[in-house]
Structure 1
């Protein structure tokens, strides 16, 4: 039996960039302290500290998912849009730095890095 994690890589980087998140034209987050997560087979994801997100605009979701590489994720909803952001309350040790940080689906939110959409 092959190991499903073999060849899978995750790297966390703290870029010196500002990340801004807009949903339906509303700025919901802006951070100069993001964590960039590079994961095999996926586009770079920017995780933002909760202090840099206007959490008054969101409500907790009942949705939970599990990633074998990061742990159990919980979700936030925005207005009538369910599960637009996720976070890992207690991620696995190798990505412990993202604990509590929010990441937004770029299919719903516009995630800008230094004012520009990143390449996918």
Structure 2
């Protein structure tokens, strides 16, 4: 982890997480990258919702670790993966917080996908 200051979500920057009621399927390069009925949906401030998928529900053989990293003062240090099957658009298409700050610990080890770097992020409501 970096030595940057950790911020705690609150009224000025709310973060909420819940189990997605349904299934999320991520495709890229014509392949199913992830298929999960255990995804978390994270809502942060005014940003669009993000689906965090357990690694166990992703085909990790289709991902290649990237040297890119970033830091979020609310979540911690992020690592990235690329999706080679998606071509250049798949570069750094996936991010993960392998260790998180305490306020968002449920997303630790989950994967999130940039919608514009994959073919689709499909949400299916289960009956």
Counterparts of 1:24 and 1:59 in 2: how far apart (Å)?
A: 14
Gaps of 5+ in 1: 116-120
* TM-score computed with the length of structure 1 as normaliser: 0.88
Counterparts of 1:59 and 1:15 in 2: how far apart (Å)?
A: 26
Counterpart of 1:118?
Answer: none
**Which gives a bigger RCO, structure 1 or 2 (Cα 8 Å, sep 6+)?**
2
Deviations 1:32-82 (A, max 9, x none): 000000011211100000000000011101000001111100000111331
SS of the residue 2:115 aligns to: coil
Counterparts of 2:108 and 2:16 in 1: how far apart (Å)?
A: 15
SS of the residue 2:116 aligns to: coil
* Residue 100 (str. 1) matches residue 109 (str. 2): yes
Whose helix fraction is larger, Structure 1's or Structure 2's?
2
SS of the residue 1:89 aligns to: coil
Match runs of 1:1-120 below 5 Å: 7-79=12-84, 80=87, 81-109=90-118, 110-114=120-124
CA RMSD of aligned residues (A): 1.6
Gaps of 5+ in 2: 1-6
Cα shift at 1:16:
2.1
* TM-score computed with the length of structure 2 as normaliser: 0.83
Q: Which runs of 4+ in 1 moved over 3 A?
A: none
